[in-house]
Chain A
Amino acid sequence: MPHDHHDHSGLSPSGHPYRADNDTPLSYWQRMEIAVRELLIEKGHLDAAAVAAQIDAMDARSPANGAAVVARAWTDPAFKARLLDNASQACRDMGFDIGPLHLIAVENTPDTHNMIVCTLCSCYPRNLLGLPPDWYKTREYRARAVREPRAVLREFGVDLPDSTTIRVHDSTADMRYIVLSARPAGTDGMTQDQLAALVTRDSMIGTGLPRTP
């Protein structure tokens, strides 16, 4: 039971370490964020509700948005051409509010597999897909994805033959990336919604493949 006596220094009933309470002093940048936010509110440039609304808007974004984009590209050749030409505009045309996001879609083909990383920090197409998974931000993924992408892919369960060229994309600057996977076999006649359910978050990062029906 959650509130039976237990030892907080050990593991939770589900076997995970307890996260320490955030009792440490604020860092310089945490104090700076609070100071700037309070000044902006005091001076009437925004209010707390507006800050909360932005957090809600970001939390409402999810990989489902990207899955809808990919599924449409699988079924609509004209849209796919627009997506590969200008992915930001193609997403906006579908009604997604992606703000100033500069998006590039990279296409997997029978002989090419694409994979996304940001070695410098954690750049990710948040305005389309929402927040990145924790592992995407780890030093381990960031360092290994560019040096041994095939080993990393195998750990994700994707074992590609030597005949497949792997293209790793390091989002070092102003662009963000989404992988357009190949449409899985056996999906003829499926609707866009049914297809979108096959598109996983990891398939859009390139560390996974879409589900098969």
Chain B
Amino acid sequence: MPERVRVKTIMPPGHVRIPAYLRGKTGVIERALGPFPNPEQLAYGLPAASQPLYRVRFTMDELWGTAAEHPNDTLDAEIYGHWLEKV
């Protein structure tokens, strides 16, 4: 059973690489990609702690509801672990 996760709904200021259209959306982890420096610090030249990065798969139904062209098409995005909460 793939792990279900939800993208946090926070809207912090600054350089963030989590698209707003994915905030609050639930998906499954498609694969783990390993640790990568957190761009939220890296972008400012600050010491950047590594975060685990995941590919998370969402259905178009989850993202767009009845506006989806085809509910079972999918969208995969790379999301850092500190942005995910278990469902």
Contacts and interface: CB of A to CB of B under 8 A. Distances in A.
A166 B73 contact: yes
A168 interface: yes
Contact of B17 (A147, A150, A167, A173): A173
Contact of B69 (A151, A170, A175): A151
B36 A162 contact: no
B53 interface: yes
B22 to A, nearest CB: 8
Contacts of B79: 172-173
Given A174-B36, A175-B33, A120 B17 contact: yes
Contacts of A184: none
Q: Which of B19, B63, B74, B77 has the most CB of A within 10 A?
A: B77
Nearest to B54: A173
Contact of B78 (A146, A150, A165, A174): A174
Q: How large is the interface on A (under 10, 10 to 19, 20 to 34, 35 or more residues)?
A: 20 to 34
Contacts of A132: none
B19 A170 contact: yes
Contacts of A169: 75-77
B73 A146 contact: no
A168 B74 CA distance: 6
A175 B78 contact: yes
A51 B39 CA distance: 26
Interface residues of B, number: 24
Nearest to B36: A174
A119 B19 contact: yes
A171 B21 contact: no
B9 interface: no
B78 A167 contact: no
Nearest to B16: A120
B37 to A, nearest CB: 9
Contacts of A162: 70
Contact of A150 (B36, B67, B69, B72): B69
Nearest to A119: B19
A82 B73 CA distance: 27
A149 interface: yes
A118 to B, nearest CB: 10
Given A168-B73, A169-B76, A119 B21 contact: yes
B19 A149 contact: no
B75 A168 contact: yes
Interface of B: 17-19, 21, 33, 36, 39, 53, 55, 57, 63-64, 67, 69-70, 72-80
